[in-house]
A and B are shown apart, each in its own frame.
Chain A
């Protein structure tokens, strides 16, 4: 049963991908949807058996790499962490499948689309169920590949191609670090499976390791490299630029990849490797800072984006920042809790956005929408639910996890904890602001679109509405119902899946922080919502004035251009590498060195020198005699010179002189 859970999406992919032409788009949809729904029910059962009843399951399928030193199995490990991820992934994925059967129904490549979605789910399941780092890396690369395929689904559009390549390459940077991390683990631990690695991690505290000629702590190296991998996948600050650009793909793809599944792989990796991270406090601090900076940065950028999907993408980036810094504060369970909640309401938001985009003839610019409240009432209500959950409105899902994250951040009582608490609270304010702005501009403002478009707007039919409605239920309730189970004090839900050193545990401290700091995030969120609502209702003139003022223009530009990250990357790193590739590695090394020193250059030089030598033969007898005289003199002279100086000079030098004289004289030519 557990193997069916993993391989059912693969069967769906193979059938829809290979025989999609035979069974048609309709057949492919039915097949993949059924496979995924079945997978979801199986994973619910697995959740019951593993997480609730508490019997972890381990299946060794077969041996993969079996040499003397390295043993890698195809093994599947189901513990609480895995099954909770399985449930989330298959739930969101099956709803996305159902959703896309209608959303993409007019696309001629529907079968291909469905097969990609199934393949993506399969790789994600491989990622979460792996029992060793190498198998996890298979899933890791697989979801990267599928994100490339899905972002590039409409492959005739140049923007989609660029976004897909960008996503692929930025992910590869992280993957490179991840591979190095796994290799480091193998070199020091001589094993890559979780059980062995985590069991012997405490023995390596303080162990040194030579990396890049530096004598470093081996656990620091490993955890930092794994974290860089997570940065690439989870779009943390530095490698985040691919995520907003990946909105070029179809909207269900954004919902699946960029909200619920793929980007969560980074957080999952950190939580899974918690037995390693627990022994490297400085790396944990680094993770905290990186996560909180991401949360703040993405929230500010989301404020002034005009593309509907990009706002949601930046909010994803920001929420991932929250999860990462929760993990950095050793509260992995809180991070995973937020991950689960976020998956539901972010998928709801993305799918709702897709419904809106569908309604207004594929217009994505929020400035050209407005007034859709009456036209698409169902989508509107779903988007409001999703936004409120994202804001952290009290007693909705997002409230439970986000508040706990901020509480434990404050309850850490360290500089890093307070730093992340401050940035996180401001981020909560900004999140509320831009979510309300999104709702307002799209649904509540006066209609700004073309008359033909607005008058033709309609609510989507039952498949899309079904997916939205089903997602809305956990978006409202799941936080409340699972809070005590997942992050309650003293819960035994996690078993051995997550390891926290006793001195790093601060859930109890977080319970006793000052009341004001507990309610501050909520107050900030509500203030943000109200402020945004009031500003956009009554303060339009004020907003416009501040936008066109000198300072406001700069500010607007700075945020709308995403802190100029893309500009800096393109102009300094991208251009530099392109120039390097052309003028150094191509012109100097390939064309230059290889063609002058290499076979071709050598042959041309020799034939040119041969012409010179040939010209030496003038045909005059007295020239020949003169040369004979010179040659004899030289020979005798060298012999005498040799007798005198031979002991002091290395004769091989003359060979170099001879060869270089060839090149020097050819330069003049």
Chain B
């Protein structure tokens, strides 16, 4: 087994998370990419949990991961469902066309 310093893996996790965040912020076109970014952030968090669970030799972290996986799946399912309904109404999924939130 290769013994690796935990910091390297943590860096990777953070980078993954930031990629997710940047995808969320910089993306102005496609709402699917938003959902994918959110999934990416959740995965990064999962990885983090797993990492610490092994590092600290505690099983609770892995249980959390299982819950989060479940939640993430339901959430993306609901999100995609909303997306489909929205597409049917407005005939578009471009984010910059969605502007009716304001007042």
Report which A residues bind B (CB closer than 8 A). Answer: 617-622, 625-626, 629
Contact = CB atoms under 8 A, between A and B. Distances in A.
B98 interface: yes
A370 to B, nearest CB: 91
B90 interface: no
Interface residues of B, number: 15
Contact of A626 (B25, B99, B102, B103): B25
A619 B25 contact: no
B98 A621 contact: yes
A197 B94 CA distance: 96
Nearest to B28: A622
Contacts of B21: 629
Nearest to A623: B25
17 contacts: A617-B103, A619-B99, A619-B101, A619-B102, A620-B95, A620-B96, A621-B98, A621-B101, A622-B24, A622-B26, A622-B27, A622-B28, A622-B95, A625-B24, A626-B25, A629-B21, A629-B25
Interface in B14-30: 21, 24-28
A11 to B, nearest CB: 80
B91 interface: no
Contacts, number: 27
Nearest to A618: B102
A634 to B, nearest CB: 15
A596 B40 CA distance: 51
B5 interface: no
Given A620-B95, A620-B96, A625 B101 contact: no
B100 interface: yes
Contacts of B24: 622, 625, 629
B96 to A, nearest CB: 6
A316 to B, nearest CB: 81
Interface of B: 21, 24-28, 34, 95-96, 98-103
A617 B102 contact: yes
A345 to B, nearest CB: 91
Contacts of A622: 24-28, 95
Contacts of B25: 622, 625-626, 629
Given A620-B28, A620-B95, A629-B21, 18 more contacts: A617-B102, A617-B103, A618-B102, A619-B99, A619-B100, A619-B101, A619-B102, A620-B99, A621-B34, A621-B95, A621-B101, A622-B24, A622-B25, A622-B27, A622-B28, A625-B24, A626-B25, A629-B25
Nearest to A614: B103
Contacts of A618: 102
A196 to B, nearest CB: 79
B35 to A, nearest CB: 12
A619 B99 CA distance: 5
B101 to A, nearest CB: 5
Contacts of A629: 21, 24-25
A629 B21 CA distance: 8
Most buried by A among B25, B27, B98: B25
Nearest to B34: A621
A626 B21 CA distance: 9
Contacts of B101: 619, 621
B67 to A, nearest CB: 23
Contacts of B99: 619-620
A129 B98 CA distance: 94
Contacts of B27: 622
B74 to A, nearest CB: 21
Nearest to A630: B25
Nearest to A626: B25
Contacts of B100: 619
A520 B102 CA distance: 102
Nearest to B37: A625
Contacts of B28: 620, 622
Most buried by A among B24, B34, B96, B103: B24
A623 to B, nearest CB: 9
A183 B21 CA distance: 77
A629 B101 CA distance: 19
A149 to B, nearest CB: 68
Contacts of A625: 24-25
Contacts of A617: 102-103
A115 to B, nearest CB: 74
